[in-house]
Structure 1
Amino acid sequence: MKIKYIALLALSLIMISCTTTISTTKTAYKISNISKLKSDWIFSPKEWFLQKDTLTGTGGPMHWGVIESKKQLPKNYEIDFKVNMTKESLFEVMLNIDKEKYIRTYLYQIDQNIVIGNGVYNKNSDEYGKRGGPTLFKKPMTLENNKWYSVKIRVSNNQLYFSVNNETFLECFLEKSNLSQQGKLGFLTNGEAKVIDLNIKTLQ
């Protein structure tokens, strides 16, 4: 009986490790099916949808497509995923969303940079000044449409690390840069972007 219990536990852990999840210190949830996407995220189905294991977002220059988690990110976390900007120039990971403020971590084709910035997002307005925000740190990187990029983001002990393809990276301290220290997660696009292999885990 004990051996059967251990085997069942090991199988459960293996299955969890192979799914797309967002984890907090207390709970974990999948975005591998549409019902969980609807229950755990805030979004317009005209802007974001899930097909098989690919999360696709659509927006435009005048109205960015945004999806936001309902759950808080843990204080220390690591995010890994792959993204493909199939149309237009901007894909953004919105970190630590707290009311209308958040941390901008994004890939920007027009400037050919990866960027960390201080962001603001007003859900009810597309006016200039009520979305986006100033750049704090940037690093040049060649970015193209229809190409997959591996993104890693880590927040640990008040320090943010953001890298693309394990070769171009930025780092900063949240408090020193006056950045939001805790909140929710979101994704934003001004065209079309596809996200796969999303994995978010709690760091001790």
Structure 2
Amino acid sequence: MKIKSIAVLIIALITISCSTTISTANKEYKITKVSKFKSDWNFNSKEWLLQKDTLIGNGGPMHWGVIESKKQLPKNYEIDFKVNITKESLFEVMLNIDKEKYIRTYLYQIDQNIVIGKGVYNKNSDEYGKHGGPTLFKKPIKLENNKWYSVKIRVANNQLYFSVNNETFLECSIEKSNLSEQGKLGFLTNGEAKIMDLTIKKIQ
């Protein structure tokens, strides 16, 4: 009986360690260790770094700073974090990255909106039209530099829910909007942005 129990445990551990989705045994993923951060994400160390418990991104108007997970997001998931745009105007969460296509969910200080859009990103080019994309849905919000905002993103049954400070909300059907249905996670900034308390959770 003990041998069977040990065998089951070993198989479970192997399954978890070989998983290609952002989730763990308790169905939750957090950035806490620099070593794990480096092994789980693709990034330029001049653009993104982890200092203690804060993820810091640096980009510019002509070259956006991008970081992309090596793991797939689950089919249904929830992302929570706090963000502070300390320089410039754009912070973007790249959802369901599939090759060069993704869903844009972002805070845009110039327009004072939160936005859901259809995105494209070519990591080998900064040409106009090779990154960004059209706005599909937006809602006004007062956005300031050097201020922390709580962001929640939930994808369940092909429905996308995006909120800031539990006050400003956007929601859309991924399928009806012809958006990328599965893929990886990324973050993008055209200045400097700081992220804290990032949690990615698989949901049923």
Q: Same fold (TM over 0.5)?
A: yes
4+ runs of 1 displaced by more than 2 Å?
Answer: 24-31
Indicate the residue corresponding to 2:9 in structure 1: none
CA distance in 2, matches of 1:68, 1:107: 18
Indicate the residue corresponding to 1:7 in structure 2: none
Indicate the residue corresponding to 2:115 in structure 1: 115
What is the TM-score with the length of structure 1 in the denominator? 0.87
CA distance in 2, matches of 1:185, 1:24: 16
Cα gap change, 1:25/1:77 in structure 2, threshold over 3 Å: closer, same or farther?
Answer: farther
Q: Supply the AA of the counterpart residue of 1:130.
A: K
Q: Supply the AA of the counterpart residue of 2:106.
A: Y
CA distance in 1, matches of 2:96, 2:26: 17
Aligned residues, how many? 183
CA distance in 2, matches of 1:131, 1:34: 28
Q: Supply the AA of the counterpart residue of 2:101.
A: K
Q: Secondary structure at the match of 1:23?
A: coil
Specify every segment of 5 or more residues in structure 1 that has no aligned partner in the other structure, as ranges: 1-21
Alignment of 1:34-73 (within 5 A): 34-73=34-73
CA distance in 1, matches of 2:77, 2:43: 23
Indicate the residue corresponding to 1:202 in structure 2: 202
Q: Secondary structure at the match of 1:120?
A: strand
- CA deviations on 1:98-152 (whole Å, 9 max, x unpaired) are 0000000000000000000000000000000000000000000000000000000
What is the TM-score with the length of structure 2 in the denominator? 0.87
Indicate the residue corresponding to 2:95 in structure 1: 95
- Asked if the contact 2:90/2:108 (under 8 Å) is kept, the reply is yes
Alignment of 1:132-147 (within 5 A): 132-147=132-147
Identity %: 85
